[in-house]
Amino acid sequence: MSKPEIRQHLDDMKADDAERLARFNTGGSSGEPLIFYIGSRRVSHDVAAKWRATRWWGVDIGDPEAVIWGSPIELGAQDKIRLLRDKLLRTHLIPAFEMSSEKLDGFIRQIQQIRPKMLFGYPSALAHIASHAEKKGVALNNLGIKVAFVTSERLYDHQRAKIESVFACPVANGYGGRDAGFIAHQCPEGGMHITAEDIIVEIVDKQGQPLPNGELGEIVVTHMATRDFPFIRYRTGDMGILSDKVCACGRGLPLLEEIQGRTTDFVVAQDGTVLHGLALIYVLRDLEGVDSFKITQDSLDKTTVQIVKTLKYQAAYEQKIIDEFKKRLGQAVTIKIEYTDYIPKERSGKFRYVISHVKA
Ligand SMILES: [Zn+2]
The more confident residue out of 91 and 136 is 136
CA of 241 to the centre of ligand 1 (A): 16
At residue 282, does pLDDT exceed 90?
no
| Span 287-314, average pLDDT | 88
Q: How far is the CA of 120 from the centre of ligand 1 (A)?
A: 20
Residue 254's pLDDT is 96
Quick check: pTM over 0.75? no
User: Residues near 295 by Cβ (< 8 Å), separated by ≥ 6?
Assistant: 267, 277, 280, 281, 284, 303, 304, 305, 306, 353, 354, 355
DSSP annotation of 208 reads S
Question: What confidence score (pLDDT) does residue 83 get?
Answer: 67
| pLDDT given for residue 29 in this prediction | 41
What's the mean pLDDT in 262-266?
46
Of the two residues 348 and 50, the one the predictor is more confident about is 50
Question: CB under 8 Å to 83, separation ≥6 — which residues?
Answer: none
Q: Which of 165-174, 259-268, 285-294, 329-338 has the lowest mean pLDDT?
A: 259-268
With cut-offs at 50, 70 and 90, classify the pLDDT of residue 345. low
| 189 alpha carbon – ligand 1 mean position (Å) | 5
Phi and psi for 177 in degrees, rounded to 5?
A: -165, 170
The CA 34 to ligand 1 mean position distance, Å, reads 32
**Calpha distance 257→76 (Å, rounded):** 35
pLDDT at 355 over 50: yes
Question: Burial level of 127, CB count in 10 A (0-12/13-18/19+)?
Answer: buried
From ligand 1's centre to the CA of 195, what distance in Å? 12
Residues in Cβ contact with 346 at an 8 Å cutoff, skipping those fewer than 6 apart:
157, 161, 352
Any idea which of 99-103, 166-170, 176-180, 311-315 has the lowest mean pLDDT? 99-103
Q: What percent of the chain has pLDDT over 70?
A: 85
The pLDDT of residue 155: 81
Tens of pLDDT, residues 135-183: 999 999 999 999 999 987 778 788 899 999 999 999 999 998 888 899 9
Cα 231 to averaged position of ligand 1 atoms, centre (Å) = 26
pLDDT > 50? residue 30: no
Distance from the alpha carbon of residue 197 to the mean position of ligand 1, in angstroms: 16
H/E element, 248: none
